[in-house]
Amino acid sequence: MNRSPGHRRLTAAALAALAVTVTATACSSGSGSTGTKGAGTGTYTIWDPYPQFDKTSAWAKLLDRCGTKAGVKVKRTGFDTSDLGNKTLLAAQQGNSPDVLIVDNPVVSTLAEAGVLTTAHENKLDTSKVDPNLLAAGQSGGKTYGTPIGANTLALYYNKDVLKKAGVDIASVKDWNTLTAALAKVTKAGKKGITFSAIGTEEGSFQFLPWFWGAGAKLTELDSAQGVSALTLWKDWLKNGYAPNSVLNNTQTTSWQEFATGDYAFSENGTWQLANAKKAGFDYGVLPIPGTDGGTAPAPTGGEFVTIPVQKDTARYTVSQQLASCLTSTANLYTTDTTLSYVAPTGEVQDRQVAANAELKPWVAAVRSAKGRTSDDLGTQYPKISEQLWKAVQSALSGSASPTDALTSAQAAAR
């Protein structure tokens, strides 16, 4: 494990990929500033994407406890999620990486390819209890970089009153055909069908992926018949008035605001809206997104990985491993993931979460079927593929191209 940043070259591909990789999870915005690492003074730096949590928060107190347990002082800095990856690359170039880095899962493979991160094997991070589908988001080239601290994903919120008045039994919604039939009933009854985000950013790809994957499509073949069927589904919803044209500009936040009016039957959104759902003023439920022929579609995972960046002073790794292990231990995950509104990455803690809050049951089911955006060893290819995917969605839904032509162009550009 004797290596220095110079032995892991920062690649141009990684720098370019990171420039267009933007998180689609619901981390609050804020800002942070770097701090000088106290090498040899018992001070270890931790960077995270949670600037919304101050020194008095449960999260900050957990970091301090883990530091005390390891016999060191923790210096923590919270960054905007969109800034953290770039700041990490810059720090690596300067030889000033944090000791522990908590980073959005799609960025892990980019940082790994850039030579910024050590592997879980190198630092003896125990990932044996982590659900394999969640761990895959942090794997690249057959190696695992860090371990997930938690996950969120997408599902369908539904307004029980709107469905009841339209004569829709939610138990009947099992696949694309029955969901579309429900939307038809709702709009015929004078209400609105479904809202989602199809904006021309990573959020648009994030929200389209459950339908794309739920059709059996692969990101390496955007123009497959399965991919076309998924985009045609969304196109037909707009054409028939089951979804509003505003989805073209909706972020996940503005999409949720539409659902919160009480006029919509369904909203595709994430675990991070649970608190807002309770404030909405109407009775709601949650349904995992169905696949084209039934079952639960794989939705993309959000959430972060706890990683250990490469250090010139390799003696620091021992304490860094202790800190990372403390943050992701079974004893701490339950409290941490409750604080972050995440589903835990291990079955043991997931079961505990459901036992404490039955409303999490459909979310646990969704997370267990979820898939990392960079899984299938896409690594730094994913941002380019995703950009072409959201452009295809925009083209098809706006009417400037058919779903087939839009995805054919996307595949050619991604290749």
Give yes or no: residues 142 and 173 share one domain. no
Per the domain annotation, does 137 fall within a domain?
yes
Distances (CA, A) of 8 to 3, 85, 111, 112, 278: 8, 17, 11, 9, 47
* Same domain as 117, residue 41: yes
Helix 225-239, helix 176-188: angle, nearest 10: 10
- Same domain membership, residue 216 and residue 196: yes
Q: Both 204 and 309 in a single domain?
A: no
Same domain, 144 and 208: no
Q: What is the pTM of this model?
A: 0.84
Give the C-alpha separation, 181 to 339, whole Å.
38
Largest CA distance in the chain: 69
Instruction: Tell me the CB-side half-sphere exposure of residue 297, using CA atoms within 13 A.
Output: 29
What pLDDT, on a 0 to 100 scale, did the predictor assign at position 18?
Answer: 52
Residues 388 and 360 in one domain: no
**373 falls within a domain:** no
> Domain of 273?
154-299+378-414
Per the domain annotation, does 61 fall within a domain? yes
Query: Are 48 and 88 within one domain?
Result: yes
Rounded CA separation 133/367 (Å)? 9
Q: Scan for tokens 């999490």, then name that residue.
A: 360
Is 132 in the same domain as 240? no
Query: Same domain for 72 and 163?
Result: no
**Distance (Å, rounded) from C-alpha 111 to C-alpha 383?**
13
Instruction: Say if residue 403 is in the same domain as residue 287.
Output: yes
Number of residues assigned to the chain: 415
Number of domains in the chain: 2
One digit per residue, pLDDT tens: the chain, 415 residues? 333 333 344 554 444 555 544 444 443 333 333 444 444 459 999 999 999 899 999 999 999 999 999 999 999 999 988 789 889 999 999 999 999 999 999 899 999 999 999 999 999 999 999 999 999 999 988 999 999 999 999 999 999 999 999 999 999 999 999 999 999 999 999 999 999 999 999 999 999 999 999 999 999 999 999 999 999 999 999 999 999 999 999 999 999 999 999 999 999 999 989 989 999 999 999 999 999 999 999 999 999 999 999 999 999 999 999 999 999 999 899 988 988 889 999 999 999 999 999 989 999 999 999 999 988 888 888 989 999 999 999 999 999 999 999 999 999 999 8
Report the distance separating Cα 66 and Cα 146, nearest Å: 17
Measured in degrees and rounded to the nearest 5, phi and psi for residue 195 equal -125, 145
> What confidence score (pLDDT) does residue 375 get?
86
Q: Looking at the structure, do residues 282 and 172 belong to the same domain, yes or no?
A: yes
pLDDT of residue 41: 54
74 falls within a domain: yes
Same domain, 294 and 317: no
What CATH number does the domain containing 347 carry?
A: 3.40.190.10
Q: Considering only CA atoms, which of 232, 235, 257 is closest in space to residue 157?
A: 257
Residue 153 three-state SS: coil
Cα 405 to the center of its chain, rounded Å? 29
239-265 burial string, b = 16+ CB within 10 Å, else e?
Answer: eeebbbeebbebebeebbebbbeeebb
